[in-house]
Amino acid sequence: MSLTHRDVATVGIGGPVGSGKTSLLTALVPELREQGLDVGVIANDILTQEDADVLRERFAGVVPEDLVAGVETGACPHTGIREDPSMNLQQIDSFLAEHPELDLVLVESGGDNLAATFNPELADYSLYVISVAEGEDIPRKRGPGVVDCDLLVVNKTDLAPHVGVDLNVMERDANGVRDGPVVFTNCKDETNIDEVLTHVRDGVLFA
Ligand SMILES: Nc1nc2c(ncn2[C@@H]2O[C@H](COP(=O)(O)OP(=O)(O)OP(=O)(O)O)[C@@H](O)[C@H]2O)c(=O)[nH]1
Ligand SMILES: [Mg+2]
């Protein structure tokens, strides 16, 4: 397996289906570009290029088209980021062959359950995105994604009043099951995206 991805910093973004991983990328990437960083993006999907197509369109004029790629992982989405990340590593190698100037590659995992974590060969820094709409109790369930990631993102805070979720309880529980940082975001109006950005920059680029 090639290890040329070690020449570029990598960030993994995991989390359950629909929690807001692609939306978070949509908010983060233009900010990273504005800060002068050359960024590539990989979207893992089970059987389609759906997220990659969406992101390529959203990043038109911001990220070169050939630096947004889809990886189709097949039936078991966490295999492609954990047990056998070779498809993702090959994609990073392809990026670097054409764009050796790359500073950072962000890898979105296909939506999965609470167990998906990134192989350290693939991600130097990992984010796990859950949403308040999945229920207040998600942090308490101690899924490895929630517990072991470098940064836990609790997204869709705007929906909390509509789904009967107390954000203070989620914050207390999240901090109770993990030592690392937790950021509450709303990707719709970009609340606290700057905080996520600071954690990513500190965690992976200035580590
Ligand atoms: N209200 C609200 N909706 C959000 C927020 N973030 C994302 N969404 C919506 O939630 C839906 C799913 O968002 P995505 O970003 O596609 O989620 P994902 O985790 O990438 O989904 P998969 O890749 O399919 O697992 C979309 O309709 C988004 O517009 C948020 O902060 N607030
Ligand atoms: Mg997505």
Point out the least confidently predicted range of 29-33, 75-79, 133-137, 176-180.
Answer: 75-79
Average pLDDT over residues 111-136: 91
Cα 129 to chain center, whole Å? 7
Q: How many CB atoms sit inside 10 A of residue 3's CB?
A: 10
Element (H, E) at 184: strand 182-184
SS3 of the chain: helix, strand, coil, percent, to 5:
40, 20, 40
- Name the residues around ion ligand 2, CB cutoff 5 A: 21-22, 51
The answer to whether the CB of 51 is under 6 A from ligand 1 is: yes
Average pLDDT of the segment spanning 36-57 = 94
Round to whole Å and give the CA distance between 119 and 80: 9
Closest CA to 55 of 46, 65, 185, 45: 65
176 falls in which pLDDT band (50, 70, 90)? very high
16 among annotated binding-site residues: yes
Q: How far apart are CA 19 and CA 140, in angstroms?
A: 17
| Whether CATH 3.40.50.300 fits 8-205 | yes
